[in-house]
């Protein structure tokens, strides 16, 4: 019994370590996108929606993707960062506020190892452990000590030794190499986890969490995985998206149900997802459009299993839909589908996962308000 226990502990630790590595997440390869395209977020040079997966124009060496509300950020194999889609707040990082429907470079940014996107802002982690941010900054989500919109990257202040980043609607998150979690920006619901509801223009530590290995941001809530395989949440909770059995907002972290063996978390606007080491996916929060994937439409304040999914390797949350990559490189999707964001060729809402056709060899997925992307 002890030998088996030690083996399982080591296995979970190894899986968590893999999740925490920011560089070389996938590829290099050509991203595939589908769904709504009003702002050019599909990256194919048009603003025409498509209900099945198709390639992004001229980007064959992407290694990571981050999905904002209506823009996408990509890391290329050479450490440069490229963006496309909506740009009304400068989230493309090219010095303008003009939307672009095909990928283009972020100005003056090199040596990146990870990228992430919030609603209207973008983030990049550099190889030296510092973070750059650009785009909307009305809630100080860029962490540069101001509320000034930036159309080119600025450095997040007082933050070094970072190993992972995540974006949310109006706040941002970062893990440091000591396992501490830091947050900045909008905090009306306690989504910074510092015990207050005070907006922060520079990073503050989430004081009660240690050993953090992965983090994700929703609309106004945050999720974290600790090295012991537990999941934690804080912030907005009207729909039960914190997963602690209540609908009360929390300004300090609470444990997500009784989940163990968690290796990754992801968030939509008002729902949350967790991938366990056994390859199953669990979800909680708002479910009016089937975004929990459990075959029903009732909100859940504690985790429920996403139906029919096994052997899952990675997950992502769109605004009101979910995505999962299986170990065989195929993709499943569920939830809202008004814009074809599930990629099954229809606009029919799905309360249980369906296969996204014509996709193979996929390693990671990301999503926004009405689109999805795979690499």
Q: Where are the domains of the chain?
A: 2-374
Instruction: Return the structure tokens found at 130.
Output: 């510092």
- Hunting for tokens 């080591």 — which residue is that? 10
Q: Rounding to the nearest 10 degrees, give the CA dihedral for residues 8, 9, 10, 14.
A: 100
d(CA 80, CA 94): 13
Burial class (CB in 10 A: 0-12, 13-18, 19+), 206: buried
d(CA 273, CA 217): 11
d(CA 231, CA 223): 7
What is the CB-side half-sphere exposure of residue 171 using CA atoms within 13 A? Answer: 34
Model pLDDT, residue 17: 33
* CB contact set of 258 (below 8 Å; sequence gap of 6+): none
Q: Do residues 292 and 304 lie in contact, with contact meaning Cβ atoms separated by under 8 Å?
A: yes
What is the CATH architecture of 2-374? 7 Propeller (2.130)
pLDDT by 10-residue block (mean), the chain, 375 residues: 31 35 65 98 98 96 98 98 98 98 97 98 98 98 98 98 98 98 98 98 97 98 98 99 98 98 98 98 98 98 97 98 98 98 98 97 98 98
Cis peptide bond N-terminal to 28, omega within 30: yes
Q: Do residues 87 and 97 lie in contact, with contact meaning Cβ atoms separated by under 8 Å?
A: yes
Model pLDDT, residue 260: 98
Model pLDDT, residue 73: 98
Q: How much is the pTM?
A: 0.93
What is the CB-side half-sphere exposure of residue 332 using CA atoms within 13 A? Answer: 26
Reduce the DSSP state of residue 94 to 3 states and report it.
coil
């Amino acid at each position: 019994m002890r030998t088996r226990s030690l083996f399982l502990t080591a296995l979970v630790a190894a899986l968590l370590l893999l999740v925490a590595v920011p560089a070389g997440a996938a590829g290099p390869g050509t991203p595939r996108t589908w769904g709504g395209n009003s702002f050019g977020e599909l990256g194919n040079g048009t603003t025409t929606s498509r209900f099945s997966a198709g390639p992004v124009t001229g980007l064959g060496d992407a290694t990571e993707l981050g999905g904002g509300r209506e823009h996408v950020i990509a890391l290329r194999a050479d450490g440069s960062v490229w963006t496309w889609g909506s740009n009304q707040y400068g989230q493309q990082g090219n010095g303008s506020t003009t939307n672009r429907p095909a990928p283009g470079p972020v100005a003056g940014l090199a040596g990146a190892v990870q990228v992430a996107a919030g609603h209207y802002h973008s983030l990049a982690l550099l190889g030296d452990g510092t973070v750059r941010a650009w785009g909307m900054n009305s809630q100080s989500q860029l962490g540069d000590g101001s509320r000034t919109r930036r159309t080119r990257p600025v450095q997040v202040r007082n933050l070094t030794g970072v190993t992972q980043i995540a974006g949310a609607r109006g706040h941002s998150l970062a893990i440091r190499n000591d396992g501490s979690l830091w947050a900045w920006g909008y905090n009306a619901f306690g989504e910074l986890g510092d015990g207050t509801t005070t907006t922060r223009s520079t990073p503050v530590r989430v004081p009660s969490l240690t050993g953090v290995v992965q983090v994700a941001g929703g609309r106004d809530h945050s999720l974290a995985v600790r090295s012991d395989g537990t999941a934690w949440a804080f912030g907005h909770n009207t729909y039960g998206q914190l997963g602690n059995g209540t609908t009360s907002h929390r300004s300090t972290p609470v444990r997500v149900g009784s989940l163990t063996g968690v290796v990754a978390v992801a968030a939509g606007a008002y729902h949350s997802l967790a991938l366990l080491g056994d390859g199953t996916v669990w979800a909680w929060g708002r479910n009016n459009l089937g975004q929990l994937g459990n075959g029903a439409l009732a909100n859940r304040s504690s985790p429920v299993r996403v139906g029919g999914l096994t052997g899952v390797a990675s997950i992502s949350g769109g605004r009101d839909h979910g995505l999962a990559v299986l170990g065989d490189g195929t993709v499943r999707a569920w939830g809202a589908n008004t814009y074809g964001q599930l990629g099954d060729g229809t606009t029919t809402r799905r309360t249980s996962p369906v296969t996204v056709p014509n996709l193979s060899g996929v390693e990671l997925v990301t999503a926004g308000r009405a689109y999805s992307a795979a690499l």
